[in-house]
Every structure is written in C-alpha cells, then in structure tokens.
Amino acid sequence: MRLNQVDLNLFVIFETIYAKRNLTRAAEVLCISQPAVSNALQRMRKTFNDQLFVSTPQGMVPTPVAENIIGRVGEALQMLNASVQEADQFLPENAQKVFRVSMNDLAETLILPALGEVLQRQAPGIRIESYFSSRRDVPRELAAGALDLAIDAPLINDPQLCHSPLMSERYVCMLRKGHPLANQPLSLENYLALGHIHISSRREGLGHVDAALNKLGKPRKIQMRVQHYMMAPLIAMRTDLALTAPLGLVQGYDAIQLELPFELSTMESHLYWHRSADRDQANVWLRNKLLQFMQIENCVQS
C-alpha cells in the first residue's frame, strides 16, 4: 500500500488514541465525535490489518504493531507540526499557548514561582500545566505531544530526546530552631543519632542519602517516610526529626541548615524535549527562559 492511498488524518487520530488510551477522551482532544473516532479506528485496522488497540477495563491497550509504529508516527507528526510552526514568528507577548511540563513537586517549588513571574511580564497568554509523569512514560508522552518538556534526573536514555542540565542542588541537614542538637557540631555520630525524615514516592527502598551512608557502613534511623518534598520541611519545623534535602527546598524556612558530615553528591536535574521540537520557536523560547533563570538561581546558591 502506498502513502497516497492512506488518509493522513488517520495518523493524527492514531496518535491521540495512543496517548489518551480512551476513544471518548481522544474525541474531546480532536474536537470530533466519539463515533467518528471509532469509525477512523476501524479504517486504521483495515489499513494495517491489525486490531491496533484492544479494549480492556484499563483502557485501549495498544497491540505490538501499534507499539512498533507509534515512534515513527509521532516523530513524523511532530516534524510536520514544527515545519508549520517554523513559518510563523513566535511572539511571546501575543502568544496564546498551553505548555505541558512533567516535574515533581520539588521542581515545581524551585521553578514555577520564578517562571510565573517571567510569564506574567513577558507572555501573559501562556499557560503552564504541570504534572508528574513517570520516567518510563516521559519519552512516549514527549513523542506523542502529550508533553512539551520534562524535568527529571539525568537517567532517561532515549535517542529521540534532547536534554540539557538545568539544576544542581547541594544537600544540607535541616533542624528546627531550638533543636536539642542545634548548638552542637554536626558530627557523623550526632547525625546518625538523629531520627530522620525520608522522602520517596515509592513504598519501599532507600534513597540517595542512604546509599552514601551505606558505603560507610552507617545506616540512619528513618522515623518518618513521606512522598512529597513540600511536606517534609513542615514536619521538621515541628519535631526533632532531621531533614536531609536540597538547599533550595529548605532555605526559605526559619530553621537551621547544617553542612553534612559525609560526602554526598549534588541533586542533578535535566530539561528534556523531543528532538522534533528542537527548532520549534515556542518550545525554544520556554527552554531558554528556564535555562537562563535556573542558571542565575544556581549561581546565587553556590
């Protein structure tokens, strides 16, 4: 079958079903009726001689054939969209656009206030939608256009993605003012004697701090485990528990910040985007703004 025998609009519908995993939600995104999406899916099934998506209680699950072609379909659509957009000059002061960015609550705390100020002054018509997408899903969502940017640790390896260093945060130990050990040197012995708050979205397992301590053969006492960064300093402010966290998170609290008595590498975050959006003027503008003001923030803290 030749390409000129295929309705290219079907590829747009295919990509949207893949991203949303639901025919009704796909129809809402595409601004067409749900029967029209169902009809298009039937046509695609005949074109590819495959079911493409199987209806389950968890949604429309892609078949192996759909998984095999989504990368190239998404890349082609992104390139076509970028080609169209490159013909238009991006004027941030007049732009009406929604950027969808994946980041956790720590990145939201460190980035969104400054970004909000920039947008208010320079691009009041631009909206930001922030939510956390798992590291496994980021490449697919960037390729499908469900995400414009992602902020994560430099652990995503995908040849279709571009990335650049965004943040580098050193860790400190936060104690409330009036803490029994507040006026003592934070030796390793004193650090290990403290009860600690551990931040993790996982139900089990240890993290960056514990890995460094384990190399010394020195486990710490974790007395509270929380899933959100913003909750941890509030607990430390009202208890005798210690919080080991990036400086940018705790420096806004009226608390004691102590240097750690052991070596701990900094927290690194990178900015990710799909290579098909590399020259998209709107995407370039937002990336540059993030990189510029985060570079300033990193210099202030270092």
Position 286: which residue type?
A: L
Q: Give residue-wise pLDDT tens across range 188-201.
A: 999 999 999 999 88
- Please tell me the predicted confidence (pLDDT) of residue 5: 59
Matching CATH topology for 3-86 and 97-167+268-301? no
Integer Cα distance of 229 and 208 in angstroms: 14
What topology does CATH give the domain 171-265?
A: D-Maltodextrin-Binding Protein; domain 2 (3.40.190)
Beta carbons within 10 angstroms of residue 131's beta carbon: 11
87 by Cβ neighbours in 10 Å (0-12 / 13-18 / 19+) ranks as exposed
Low-confidence ranges of the chain (pLDDT < 50): 1, 299-300, 302
pTM value?
A: 0.68
Closest by CA to 171, choosing from 111, 218, 223, 211, is 211
Q: Give residue-wise pLDDT tens across range 68-117.
A: 989 888 888 777 776 665 555 788 999 999 999 999 999 999 999 989 99
Q: Do residues 298 and 168 lie in contact, with contact meaning Cβ atoms separated by under 8 Å?
A: yes
Q: Domain 3-86 carries which CATH code?
A: 1.10.10.10
- Please tell me the predicted confidence (pLDDT) of residue 206: 81
Q: Where are the domains of the chain?
A: 3-86, 97-167+268-301, 171-265
**Architecture of the 97-167+268-301 domain:** 3-Layer(aba) Sandwich (3.40)
Integer Cα distance of 62 and 69 in angstroms: 11
**∠ CA 275-279-284, rounded to 5°:** 100
- Please tell me the predicted confidence (pLDDT) of residue 299: 46
- Please tell me the predicted confidence (pLDDT) of residue 297: 58
Integer Cα distance of 25 and 43 in angstroms: 19
Phi, psi torsion values for 87, nearest 5 degrees? -75, -20
4 is written with which tokens? 């000129």
- Please tell me the predicted confidence (pLDDT) of residue 11: 86
CA distances from 189 to 179, 199, 207, 224, 244 (A): 16, 22, 20, 20, 15
